Structure 1
């Protein structure tokens, strides 16, 4: 065995940062546990060709803290953590590398559960799972959660309807102009749900086949990617890249509600205040796109389908409470959501004490 684990000094407010290296397989990874106040940490494994260890550290810490927020708001009984593997996902993957990664996860004794993320797949995680029971998001088996996309799309859809109730006075989406940016697995599933609900669907993507499918099957209006912020819409559902809302695009947006599956939709925190000042309700992405981790949590807790259904409904309930507080206190939703997470964590810490 050539695997070595080295505990590094974690940033203030974080619990653990572990560096894992295995020269035989080529594994170079970081595992970050932000918080276990609510339960064992959970979050996916990202494989990315980071230029430096410092770049990987910055990313894994940011992502781990985000998972604490996401898991807390989704009421999963899980803390926040993340892992990253340094390497080219198209060139450097081997079964041996992921089995070594599984051994690294196993050495943490259940304090962190991993799953797929950017650059990794269920097949990769299945290799890790040969070495540890703490690798989840697997196909098959009694509790296997499989593809999380349908759960993510359903959570976004439920939250979007709650947002519509606050903004337009009704959850009824009939005739509402909804622009879905990005027609991957989640975006297409969301578009199908919106079409079934009677929305006037507008779509954009760089994949012509996906656009053709949406136009033919869903009656969607297709626009070019660079026309998004010049298009009239009621609701904007970003389901592609992050940082789509920035100092240039934010002021151009015509929608009154933003609810989508893309991660890190705001280029910087100040965008939330600018949107609020314009009367635009933004539903924080880490709240509404939690369907995937809810699906994985069902596998971790060995829970039946009712667990996933109840937690998806719970997300919508929290969005309702968040919007109500934002309206009462005249504050933006990102501030309110952060306060709600802090209250959840503080309550957990009090109960432990």
Structure 2
């Protein structure tokens, strides 16, 4: 069996190409997004087009688990920062959800529509296998269910597949977000009735679309946007939604803003334009900076911390690795605890006049330190 914890660089060569895996933790440590990450790996195979970063943040609770994002970052540093922030969020997500996993995330620097080839995915599968159980992965932006199946055929450390797994985690992520959104509404208004409630949904990928389906069934009025204009038009037809441009969604007059695309959209620059009571969506790293939650609080906007409300997918795929195998009913019972977790965070934050993400992070740290202490 191949181990890579000790070697700083590993080269795996076949007849066509060479996969090189390097430990870039020292390079990552120079960035502000670094948070005592345990190990950061960079995998490169020029012949097959692979440039991938696997960031392992913390494994006190268990092996690192997190999705793989395929995105054409303009710079290597931008991709590295993305991986660092996402993996840290996964640590908190597992801790809050009482899952026995640490935080990890991978970013493949590529355009998922034009550069994600079978050869690239094959090279990535070899990288995952070489990491020898340090990191389990699954779907994320740009990596589909079919891609996960492809990887699973080549390495065992892939979750959320149709072949031996629980299938597409996106509907479960969306359902947890839906339940969390209702919990936020109930906390703010005393009722979780969605009839007539205006929800501005940013991003109509698999999770955003599934969330819209649930919101529509309960009578919410949807305002939607997506970088793919055709997706927004489809939502108009399917849900009677109002479609707006990507630059308009942040200032749309609504009751709830649900970010369901990429992160960093809620910032000191965009918060003044928000015209909502609640921010509750499925995107990871919704805040550009941790401190931006205080700006939301000062404006009277209730924020559902992203790694709490969007934990449904993690809970579902993580349940595949439980002793005895996957039990969907047990997984869904855990997902249904998301509203109670959020309500507890909202109550603590209000009582202490603290931003909700500060309280959530404290809870996560407490659980990690308790596990570390044994």
TM-score (norm 1): 0.88
Q: Which residue of 2 aligns with 1:232?
A: 253
SS at match of 1:307: helix
Q: Which residue of 2 aligns with 1:80?
A: 103
Tell me the distance in 2 between the aligned counterparts of 1:268 and 1:233.
Answer: 23
Asked whether the 8 Å contact 1:9–1:17 carries over to 2, the reply is: yes
SS at match of 1:262: coil
Asked whether the 8 Å contact 1:151–1:292 carries over to 2, the reply is: yes
Asked whether the 8 Å contact 1:75–1:311 carries over to 2, the reply is: no
Q: What's the offset of the Cα at 1:165? A: 1.3
Of residues 199, 205, 208, the one that matches 1:187 is: 208
Q: Which residue of 1 aligns with 2:117?
A: 94
Equivalent residues in 2 for 1:133-212 (5 A)?
133-141=156-164, 144-205=165-226, 207-212=228-233
- 1:293-315, CA deviations, whole angstroms, 9 ceiling, x for partnerless residues? 22221233332112320221122
Instruction: Let me know the Cα RMSD of the aligned residues.
Output: 2.5
Q: Which residue of 2 aligns with 1:32?
A: 55
Tell me the distance in 2 between the aligned counterparts of 1:47 and 1:247.
Answer: 27
Cα separation, partners in 2 of 1:87 and 1:199, compared to 1, 3 Å: closer
Asked whether the 8 Å contact 2:316–2:332 carries over to 1, the reply is: no
Asked whether the 8 Å contact 1:44–1:115 carries over to 2, the reply is: yes
Q: What's the offset of the Cα at 1:156? A: 0.8
Tell me the distance in 2 between the aligned counterparts of 1:50 and 1:229.
Answer: 23
- Residue correspondences, number: 349
Equivalent residues in 2 for 1:1-353 (5 A)?
1-2=12-13, 3-9=19-25, 11=29, 13-22=36-45, 25-50=48-73, 53-141=76-164, 144-205=165-226, 207-301=228-322, 302-351=325-374
- 1:126-180, CA deviations, whole angstroms, 9 ceiling, x for partnerless residues? 3332332112221243xx2222221111011100111111100112223322222
Q: What's the offset of the Cα at 1:4? A: 4.0
Q: What's the offset of the Cα at 1:208? A: 4.8
Tell me the distance in 2 between the aligned counterparts of 1:214 and 1:121.
Answer: 21
Tell me the distance in 2 between the aligned counterparts of 1:64 and 1:120.
Answer: 17
Tell me the distance in 1 between the aligned counterparts of 2:220 and 2:363.
Answer: 31
Asked whether the 8 Å contact 2:85–2:285 carries over to 1, the reply is: no
Structure 1's unaligned 5+ residue stretches are none
Cα separation, partners in 2 of 1:252 and 1:18, compared to 1, 3 Å: closer
Tell me the distance in 2 between the aligned counterparts of 1:228 and 1:22.
Answer: 39
Q: What's the offset of the Cα at 1:259? A: 0.6
Q: Which moved more, 1:91-100 or 1:159-168?
A: 91-100
- 1:313-353, CA deviations, whole angstroms, 9 ceiling, x for partnerless residues? 122221111101011111111111111111111111112xx
Asked whether the 8 Å contact 1:15–1:33 carries over to 2, the reply is: yes
Structure 2's unaligned 5+ residue stretches are 1-11, 14-18, 30-34
Q: Which moved more, 1:96-105 or 1:64-73?
A: 96-105
Cα separation, partners in 2 of 1:222 and 1:130, compared to 1, 3 Å: closer
Q: Which moved more, 1:288-297 or 1:326-335?
A: 288-297
TM-score (norm 2): 0.83
Tell me the distance in 2 between the aligned counterparts of 1:226 and 1:305.
Answer: 39
